Structure 1
Amino acid sequence: MEYSPIERHGMIGDLQTAALVADDGSIDWFCTPRFDSPSLFAFLVDRSAGGYCRLRPERDDYVVRQLYLPGSAILITRFMSPEGVGELIDFMPVTGREPTDRHRIVRIMRQVRGTGRYIFECVPGFDYARADHEVVEHEAGWEFRSPAGRLTLNPAGHDKIRDVRQVGPGVRGIIEANQGDSGALVLETGSADPPRLFSVSEVWQLYEQTRDFWRGWVGRSRYRGRWREQVERSAITLKLMTYAPTGALIAAPTAGLPELVGGERNWDYRFTWIRDASFSVHALLGLGYREEAQQYLGWLRDRLAGETPPRIMYRVDGGVDLVEESLGHFEGYLGSTPVRIGNDANGQLQLDIFGEAMDSVYRAARSGLHPAYEGWSGLSAMVDWLSDHWDQPDDGIWEARSGRQDNTYGRVMCWVAFDRAIRMSLTLGLPADTHRWVRARNAIYEQVMTKGWDAQRETFTQRYGSPVLDAALLYLPLVGFVAPSDPRWRSTMRAIDQHLVSDSLVYRYDPVASPDGLAGAEGTFSMCTFWYVDALARCGRLDEARLTFEKMLTYSNHVGLYSEEIGPTGEQLGNFPQAFSHLALINAAVRLDQAITA
């Protein structure tokens, strides 16, 4: 079996973990019981041992189409052949806010026309395929038992299921169906119960409950703009990547997918970055999801109460054990090694996170979500710490492994941290040493305008004393550091147009001109392209902004999802789907709608 391209997958989830389903009917990635737990299926990074659960037609002459049930996270894969049309319906019933080890993936095979014969195979790989397991047959189903966990395979509509048997470390069987028939498999983890027979009506009831949950949640959105379908799908994707017990938003549900096929830029993104989660507040509030924004603010408050300064990322439960290691037994997606789990960037200093956090709290306060006493105490302590530490090199937003630099974006976001903290203190009457904060804010402004500005090239630069451009600079007018009409910003935009933009797609920076400590290049960065749309709109270049946005929409995959980067031929690269990309899409759509309507 060959790897399905990254972009040929859809995502399902239950708000504590998620799975990726390829359009050939294979579950190629699934970690349990949480997003950041070891994998049970990891075919995406190792086709021989990673593990998978596949359900597909027995014959090869079929055409496949995959889509989401509108307004939901229910994925439908349609298999069309001369003998009939079958629909594979995949979903995970939503869990509550209490952490649980028990998770279900429901796979319904429904024959909508003619007849069909479908093969199913389930071959788990417990603990990143490092733990052995035994296969146990029960009267009602199958059990995979390992020291690292347990999986049961529970049938429904068992009269349609034929010839189920153990094949090596897995189970294989056949589903036969005539028009109107349904059969299903329920995969369950974390349960001590033996496998059991599900009735067809029971699995359809789970389907209806899951459908109603998602449609009810989507119905709370107040976005009524021009790109409602794309914004809605991005919002659902972000919700799917939120760990309900804590409100933590992961960067992506996968690990080890390459930014360059065959290269070493293969990171683990199944954690919560303060930066990503802070950006989410802007997007969530823009769509009217105050409860979700408030839940993240509570997560941030808890992190600030734990240590000052906070780390740049955490596990979904707030843990800090993110030691990076390589899974040497995995061959990697299309040979891209090493496959990394954990993330050593956790030990980096990234000064920009303070501005991103304070900006999110400030936006929330303007929407009526004022910080409580404990929350403000933690925030003011963080800003006080920053008063003594902002003027030092840091590792930067892109987590380069080439040493610390005086990064312009990091300094600007320190300015944002002081500016928003000052505004909140004065507006809400909150206690603070605002005179000290004002001095720091003013000093940063003068420093960036002198050291972060290249007078010869007439552009802001990635870092002090360097001519290199950086797409993170696109955020300067978005946070109000410079006005879109400022001559310095207009000339910076011209430089970005010339050096970082390729047919509307935007590179983060030039890794050749600005070595980041890693070999190889990378694709265009989707979040930066959406930032570019926002910056164009603020500069009054509305026709360019709209065309760039519409072009970018064509680079989503067939079900509206984006990874981190876009490759030379339009392929998706990096971990998938990527929260950054979908957050930036929402914000760009909202901003562009406002600019066009004004």
Structure 2
Amino acid sequence: MKPGFPGTGEGERKTPSGKEPPVNHHQPPIADHGLIGDLQTAALVSTGGAIDWFCCPRFDSPSVFGALLDPRGGHCRIRPVREPYTSRQFYFPGTAVLITRFMTRLGTGEVIDFMRPVTGGRTDGGHRLIRLVRCVRGTVEFAMEVVPRFDYARSPHTTAVTEDGVLFHSEDSALTLHAVREPGDPPPVHAHVIEGGVYGSVILKTGQARGFALESDGGEPRAIRVAEIERTFDDTVRFWRDWLNQSTYRGRWREMVDRSAITLKLLTYAPTGAMVAAPTTSLPEQIGGERNWDYRYAWVRDASLSVSSLLALGFTDEAVAFARWLRERHLSGDGRLKIMYRVDGASDLLEESLAHWSGYRGSVPVRIGNSAADQLQLDVYGELLDTVYQADRRGAEIGHDGWKALTDLLDWLAANWDQPDDGIWETREGKADFTYGRLMSWVAFDRGVRLATAHGLPCALDSWRDERDRVYDQIWEHGWSSLKQAFVQRYGSVSLDASLLRMADVGFITPHDPSWLATLAGIENELVTDSLVYRYDPDASPDGLRGDEGTFSLCTFGYVTALARAGYPEKARLVFEKMLTYANHVGLYAEEIGPNGEQLGNFPQAFTHLGLIDAALTLDRAIG
């Protein structure tokens, strides 16, 4: 079509849910994506110019574009009409603005994707995803496809086309496409509607820019001038650079650390301060396997560790907001914390499968919700208290209500820590006496004692000290295996677990203690392969699931930290540098890495990026 996508004039079409015109849309590698977001939701953009994962209006809302998990799941794609072409993708420096460049025989064009940050307590409409298309050399004809499929392709919608855009409307939600055009553009042509999706093309010459904005408010389409989009671009760039300028990190790996920090910020739900573990669901830990989970929720553990990593870089606002969110969870709970919540604090995470979706490259089931929400995982109290302790050391003071909530949690833990739990890895094999859960219970009591002592705060201090010492003695008695000469995954076993790489990091044991060095050597011998680290050996430690998984990237970065603390900085640096080679083209990581180097699991993963930050900080100190 001529400039002014989309439309063929006014009209309306209705599509049955899940039906799709014939298109050639394959599922690209997980790592072939960049991430954009507005601090309430996020979208994945492939190197081929396709948005094939987008949930709206929140991270944990149903998908609008879900082709990453099923070709019928909906997509929004912009690419050159004529092949062959090559594409390259990068972030505008210091921001979350993603640029995909296309090189063709006749010219070079680019698609600039970003979302306007929605900060503060706003949860109303106005979630705007902008796709600005430019020709920077020669002439490029772009094909544009906007094919929404609401509610995981379960809800039919109508498509109303006007001269200024399109309104896609389903029973419970809507999406408005506003055309980006200039005065004097002729009426749009060569656009057509097929099964509720809009397809068209635009020819651009050097210096021309067009495109569209997708908005979740369901308002009437309107024409948007390029100048307005450019102002929004400038505002978005300014937001990200102002935020990133708060970082105090000046070490050797600043580019990767900055990118990881921005990624953690992108996983933050600004209205409440919650942080999701990943913006996706059901990306597999093994291609074709069943280890496919929904990570679009706020784990107390993952969020606490993410906030702690941001604190170490000098960011404090996230810690304050997260603490407020947790205090509200405590007030609305039964005295203990659940391990995860929705971003608004709700705990209804009923797990179900989308039987009508084929999954990423045939990996089923596709799950929404997460039944692990009802598990008992004792370690979350340690991660939380350690983060509060780190925040306190950096000047984020604890108010009366916050301290009351913490004392209630620690009093609950004092009465409940000595029991089997489900463990950090959320296995489906049943409860056990996991050493890591006991380790982090020790951390919780230790940090509580330190905070109370430093500030003279009221609490059951003698009880906390007694429980701390009981946990310590129990770990040495039952968590240490004289046969294995190492700390083991669970009491009475001889299985190793990479979660225990944190033992010296949290101060339970000195990093040069012979027992710790022996444990580190054991983990290296049994769980490390070419510097990459498995969480545990599922053959030695059954987890109730079929199939295998890749190496766990958080554990690899944890291995770097442990080596650096133990006095092996050069070895740690080599492992770290090798791990950096597994990042994708824009510095993002999924949860795991497969045998062929392919990224596996939900993407991008907060665990991995916080691990990178912690490893870089520790390694800088060890080397410098």
Q: Does residue 303 of structure 2 align to residue 277 of structure 1? A: yes
2:145 matched to 1:121? Answer: yes
Deviation at 1:102, TM superposition (A): 2.7
Give the Cα–Cα distance (whole angstroms) in 2 for the partners of residues 100 and 252 of structure 1. Answer: 23
- Report the residue type matching 1:123 in the other structure: V
Structure 1 partner of 2:207: 180
Out of 280, 287, 291, the position equivalent to 1:261 is 287
Question: Of 149, 152, 157, which aligns to 1:133?
Answer: 157
CA distance in 2, matches of 1:146, 1:380: 47
Matches within 5 A, 1:28-177: 28-47=52-71, 49-97=72-120, 98-157=122-181, 159=185, 162-177=189-204
Does residue 329 in structure 1 map to residue 356 in structure 2?
yes
User: In structure 1, what residue type is equivalent to 2:124?
Assistant: T
Separation in 1 of the partners of 2:462 and 2:214? 59
Of stretches 321-330 and 432-441 in structure 1, the one that deviates more from structure 2 is 432-441
Deviation of 1:210 after TM superposition, in Å, equals 0.8
What letter matches 2:128 in structure 1? Answer: R
CA contact (8 A) 1:264 1:336 kept: yes
Distance in 1 of aligned mates of 2:358 and 2:232 = 37
Whether 2:376 is the aligned partner of 1:349: answer: yes
Counting only pairs closer than 5 Å after superposition, residues 188-267 of structure 1 correspond to structure 2 as 188-191=215-218, 193-267=219-293
The TM-score, its normalising length taken from structure 2, stands at 0.94
**Structure 2 residue matching 1:110: 3-state secondary structure:** strand
- CA–CA distance in structure 1, aligned partners of residues 306 and 146 of structure 2: 36
Task: Report how many aligned residue pairs link the two structures.
Answer: 595
Return the offset for 1:461: 0.3
Question: Residue in 2 aligned with 1:382?
Answer: 409
Displacement of 1:99: 1.0
The alpha carbon displacement at 1:281 in A equals 2.5
Q: Deviations over 1:403-441 (max 9, x none)?
A: 000000000100111111011111110011111111111
Deviates more, 1:19-28 or 1:196-205: 196-205
> How far has the Cα of 1:528 moved from its partner?
0.5
Shift of 1:68: 0.4
Alpha-carbon offset, residue 94 of structure 1: 1.2
C-alpha distance in structure 1 between counterparts of 2:593 and 2:470, whole Å: 38
How much does 1:527 deviate? Answer: 0.4
Residues of 1 paired with 2:469 and 2:164: CA distance? Answer: 71
User: Which of 281, 295, 298 pairs up with 2:321?
Assistant: 295
The CA deviation at 1:188 is 1.2
AA paired with 1:438?
Answer: R
8 Å contact 1:33–1:190 — kept in the other structure? no
Q: Is the 1:162–1:175 contact (alpha carbons within 8 Å) kept by the matching residues of 2?
A: no
Deviation at 1:280, TM superposition (A): 1.7
Q: Which amino acid aligns with 1:155?
A: A
1:305 positional shift: 2.2
Alpha carbons 1:260, 1:521 under 8 Å: kept: yes
**How far apart in 1 are the matches of 2:466 and 2:214?**
59
1:282–1:587 CA contact under 8 A, matched in 2 = no
Partners of 2:622 and 2:368 in 1: CA distance: 42
Alignment-mate amino acid for residue 379 of structure 2: D
Post-superposition offset of 1:162: 4.2
Does the 8 Å contact 1:55/1:118 carry over to 2?
A: yes
Conserved 8 A contact 1:33-1:102: no
Q: 1:79 deviation in Å?
A: 0.3
Distance 1:390 1:520 in 2: 32
- Provide the C-alpha distance between the structure 2 equivalents of 1:555 and 1:300, rounded to a whole number of angstroms: 34
Quote the Cα distance in structure 1 between the aligned partners of 2:153 and 2:591.
26
Deviations, residues 453-474 of structure 1 (Å, cap 9, x unaligned)? 1101200000001111000010
Deviating beyond 3 angstroms after TM superposition, the runs of 4 or more aligned structure 1 residues are 158-162
Q: Percent identity?
A: 55
Q: Distance in 2 between the 1:134 and 1:295 partners?
A: 39
The question of 1:451 aligning with 2:478 is answered yes
Q: Which residue of 2 aligns with 1:363?
A: 390
Q: Which amino acid in 1 is paired with 2:130?
A: V
Which runs of 5 or more structure 2 residues have no equivalent in the other structure?
A: 1-24
| Residue 432 (structure 1) aligned to one of 459, 472, 476 | 459
Report the Cα distance in structure 1 between the residues aligned to 2:345 and 2:38, rounded to whole angstroms: 19
* Equivalence for 2:433: 406
1:155 touches 1:196 (CA, 8 Å); kept in 2? yes
Output the amino acid matched with 1:544. Answer: K
- Could you report, residue by residue, the CA deviation over 1:176-215 in whole angstroms, capped at 9, with x for unpaired residues? 0011111111111123x21111111111111111111111
- Alpha-carbon contact 2:176-2:217 (below 8 Å) kept: no
Residue in 2 that maps onto 1:4: 28
Inter-partner Cα distance in structure 2 for 1:400 and 1:80: 46
Distance in 1 between residues matched to 2:260 and 2:423, nearest whole Å: 26
Paired AA for residue 64 in structure 2? L
Which amino acid in 2 is paired with 1:78? R
**2:286–2:550 contact (8 Å) kept in structure 1:** yes
**In structure 1, what is the equivalent of residue 7 of structure 2?**
none
In structure 1, what is the Cα distance between the partners aligned to 2:272 and 2:531? 37
Amino acid in structure 2 at the alignment position of 1:326: S
Deviations 1:99-126 (A, max 9, x none): 1233111111111111100100011010
Tell me the secondary structure at the aligned position of residue 333 of structure 1.
Answer: coil
